[in-house]
Structure 1
Amino acid sequence: MSMTIHPITMHINGKPVGPVPVPEGIMMIDFLHEYLDLTGSRLGCGQGVCRACVVILDKPDGTSEEVRSCITGAHFFEGKKVRTVEGHAQLNEKGEVVALSPIQQKFLEHYSFQCGYCTPGFVNAATVLLEKLKRQPVAKDRLDQAITDGLNDHICRCTGYVRYFEAVKEVALATPGLVKDGK
């Protein structure tokens, strides 16, 4: 029995990738790990429930969304723009981290993780939420609910939820234009 191979091309973390010949049914997380050495996204449950594996899909209209890479085939992303957790920090010419994203920095400052396994998914979820708030600011009295809604589907077995929540709230309140006063 032969395996069907199809080339795939996309943009990952702002860089063109491909065409790369890969098996037809390969999941995105396996493509990232095995073909691109991008191992930040974690394979947790393998069923799309825990969301440790999420990547960010950047849509042509300027919006973004989380996509579970353990249950989504790599070919779904053909021609699309994807961000992984590796794409958030600022790097120098040598590929060394010179600055973390605001959400990454606050997660560190709040020690929002224990084992860190779920952290890449939370980083991506928080990033998508903050980008949404840039487009549609939320009233200050609704911020807590917006954060809960944005992070609620993610599972942390070490129960770091409060620290993740506090870190995201601090970034949202400190970033001009994300939160508005009043209703």
Structure 2
Amino acid sequence: MRSLTLKINGRDYGPIEVPEDMMLVDVLHEYLGLTGTRFGCGQGVCRACTVIVDGDGGPREVRSCITGAHWFAGKSIRTVEGHAKRDETGKIVSLSPVQQAFLDHFSFQCGYCTPGFVNAATVLLETLAESPVAADRVEETISEALNPHLCRCTGYVRYYQAVKDLVLSTPGLVKETSR
């Protein structure tokens, strides 16, 4: 056992005593009650367990089923629970643009993979806000961001279309040419 303090969705947790070898997804579920992050394959392949880590290099996806919880100490983490806006009672008042786009496009069936796709699309949009993509590379860029994520219900086309529509409709994410 070792003491761990985490910053998740802007909130500090801990210190809590957790086993040295416990993966973050297990800490989220078993210690913190944050069950939105999914345990899928347990090998980091499906990416349903993806969380966002914010740092100097910008946001990035990290697979929480294969990354020990103690690795996250001192880092700022976002889970799928942190995307929607909530009022002072905790009630959701609005979804994030990615979540709303997925709903508008009926992007998921069972929803098991959705937290990973939400995080991947969020990282993509935040990255494009800092460094816009050329118009002729939009489709390729979205594919690169979403292709590592697995969906057993074959929601890829709708996830892709939702993200494409969101990228194209959000000012500042796309530049004209790739010069």
Name the TM-score class by shorter chain: over 0.9
Q: Which residue identity does 2:11 align to in structure 1?
A: K
Shift of 1:137: 0.2
The residue aligned with 1:125 is 120
| Structure 2 Cα separation of the partners of residues 20 and 103 of structure 1 | 32
The residue aligned with 2:90 is 95
SS in structure 1 of the partner of residue 12 of structure 2: strand
The residue aligned with 1:7 is 3
SS in structure 1 of the partner of residue 145 of structure 2: helix
| Structure 2 Cα separation of the partners of residues 157 and 66 of structure 1 | 20
Structure 1: any 5+ residue segments left out of the alignment? none
| Structure 2 Cα separation of the partners of residues 92 and 181 of structure 1 | 38
The residue aligned with 2:35 is 39
Poorly superposed stretches of 4+, deviation over 3 Å: none
TM normalised by structure 1 equals: 0.95
Q: Does 1:18 align with 2:14?
A: yes
Q: Does 1:64 align with 2:59?
A: yes
Shift of 1:132: 0.7
Q: Does 1:172 align with 2:167?
A: yes
**What number of residue pairs does the alignment pair up?**
178
| Structure 2 Cα separation of the partners of residues 63 and 45 of structure 1 | 27
Q: Does 1:152 align with 2:147?
A: yes
Superposed CA RMSD in Å reads 0.8
Structure 2: any 5+ residue segments left out of the alignment? none
Shift of 1:141: 1.1
Q: Percent identity?
A: 65
SS in structure 2 of the partner of residue 36 of structure 1: coil
TM normalised by structure 2 equals: 0.98
